[in-house]
């Protein structure tokens, strides 16, 4: 059985609107985007899709990826659905205090009644990361600086950030001493007496010295909501997430590469950390999805998304993406071919949201849900 999730970039306009420039500043386009997204969430809920994901990006004045608050966009999806898992993918580590991230995750999970999924990512868009980063020495990462000092520092920071988020979600109180963060600050004493801290909580001694801290509330899903490692085709990333049983999301069309990633994850999770990994839990697979009655119609619909992909993600160094584009039979064969090579129990389907008209996307969602999904459930 495969759970099918949707994913969107939060694009504010059609091609001609984006090409006019500065689309991200237009509140009319933004409101239209929100209403269209609400409609997709309601339809996906009705059709039986498992989840709906979105990114975090800031300073998006061009309007190509205008999802500037991971919790607010998540709540928008949650408001317009009853069953869908809302998947923030993800919180960009370089822009967040890990305690704030953990509180946001736990709060969202409770507000959504256990329907939250969490992606934690490193950050690859330099323009906004440089303006939002929480540590001055950090920077965005991508193919342009792979294995350079800024990349290695980002990895070290990310590992500490994830560790703190997981500690905060899974412990009533805790302390942390690391290179980048120290919680609570060493030798911190509250500047005044407070009986509630001392008598009804933990981590405070008789002299009001704060020795441990904790977030509130706990997440509803225990020990944590489902964890996702963002979009990656890296063996190093797969092995990193094996420690936490988080799922990388792989949109790569190269199934030989996928086999290496799946095997590396399982080897690390079971051999190094002693986890038990069910088949398909190594990673989620997927790609751009456009389903139409015929292959020719689907390919025609895909033209505008092809323009978007070449102009936006490719310029950031994102690699080849899987195109699940065609009739229901064609897409079914693509998924079956992948499932014959790698175990798959979860997929992410990237929608041409914003680029395509709602009628076109709705037709694609309905056709996929009625003629493809039942073959894998």
- SS3 letters across the chain: CCEEEEECCCCCCCHHHHHCCCHHHCHHHHHHHHHHHHHHHHHHHHHCCCEEEECCCCCCCCCCCCCCCHHHHHHHHHHCCCCCEEEEEEEEHHHCCHHHHHHHHHHHHHHCCCCEEEEEECCCCHHHHHHHCCCCCCCCCCHHHCCCHHHHHHHHHHHHHHHHHHHHHHCCCECEECCCCEECCCCCECCCCCHHHHHHCCCECCCCEECCECCCCCCCCCCCCCEEEEECCCHHHHHHHHCCCCEEEECCCCHHHHHHHHHHHHHHHHHCCCCCCCCCCCCEEEEEEEECCCHHHHHHHHHHHHHHHHHCCHHHCCCCCCEEEECHHHHHHHHHHHHCCCCCCEEEEECCCCCCCHHHHHHHHHHHHHHCHHHHC
**Model-level pTM?**
0.97
For the domain made up of 84-224, give the CATH fold. TIM Barrel (3.20.20)
Q: What average pLDDT score do residues 348-365 get?
A: 98
Give the pLDDT score at 230. 85
40 pLDDT more than 90: yes
Q: What average pLDDT score do residues 355-370 get?
A: 98
pLDDT band at 319 (very low <50, low <70, confident <90, very high): confident
Whole-number percent of the chain with pLDDT over 70: 100
pLDDT digits (tens, 9 = 90+) for 70-102: 999 999 999 999 999 999 999 999 999 999 999
Mean of pLDDT over the chain: 97
318 pLDDT more than 90: no
pLDDT digits (tens, 9 = 90+) for 229-270: 989 889 999 999 999 999 999 999 999 999 999 999 999 999
Q: What average pLDDT score do residues 109-122 get?
A: 98
Q: What average pLDDT score do residues 165-170 get?
A: 98
Give the pLDDT score at 131. 97
């Amino acid at each position: 059985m495969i759970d099918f999730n949707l994913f969107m970039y939060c694009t504010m306009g059609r091609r001609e609107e984006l090409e006019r420039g500065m689309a991200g500043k237009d509140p009319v386009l933004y409101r239209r985007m929100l209403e269209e997204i609400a409609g997709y969430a309601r339809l996906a809920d009705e059709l039986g899709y498992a989840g709906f994901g979105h990114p975090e990006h800031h300073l998006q004045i061009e309007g190509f990826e205008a999802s500037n608050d991971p919790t607010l966009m998540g709540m928008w999806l949650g408001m317009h659905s009853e069953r869908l898992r809302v998947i923030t993918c993800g919180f960009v580590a370089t822009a967040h205090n890990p305690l704030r991230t953990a509180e946001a995750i736990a709060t969202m999970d409770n507000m959504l009644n256990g329907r939250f999924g969490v992606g934690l990512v490193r950050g690859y868009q330099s323009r906004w990361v440089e303006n939002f980063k929480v540590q001055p020495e950090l920077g965005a990462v991508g193919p342009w600086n792979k294995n350079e000092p800024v990349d290695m520092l980002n990895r070290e920071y990310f590992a500490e950030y994830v560790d703190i988020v997981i500690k905060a979600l899974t412990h009533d109180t805790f302390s942390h001493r690391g290179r980048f963060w120290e919680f609570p600050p060493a030798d911190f004493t509250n500047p005044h007496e407070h009986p509630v801290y001392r008598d009804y909580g933990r981590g405070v001694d008789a002299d009001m010295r704060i020795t441990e801290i904790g977030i509130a509330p706990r997440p509803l899903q225990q020990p944590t909501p489902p964890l996702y490692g963002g979009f990656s085709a890296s063996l190093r990333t797969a092995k990193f997430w094996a420690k936490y049983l988080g799922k990388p999301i792989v949109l790569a069309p190269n199934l030989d590469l996928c086999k290496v990633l799946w095997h590396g994850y399982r080897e690390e999770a079971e051999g190094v950390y002693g986890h038990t990994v069910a088949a398909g839990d190594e990673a989620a697979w997927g790609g751009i999805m456009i389903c139409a009655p015929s292959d020719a119609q689907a390919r025609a619909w895909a033209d505008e998304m092809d323009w978007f992909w070449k102009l936006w993600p490719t310029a950031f160094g994102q690699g080849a993406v899987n195109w699940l584009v065609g009739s229901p039979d064609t897409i079914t064969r693509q998924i079956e071919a992948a499932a014959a090579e790698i175990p798959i129990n979860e997929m992410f389907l990237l929608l041409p949201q914003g680029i395509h008209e709602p009628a076109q996307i709705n037709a694609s969602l309905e056709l996929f849900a009625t003629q493809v999904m039942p073959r894998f459930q």
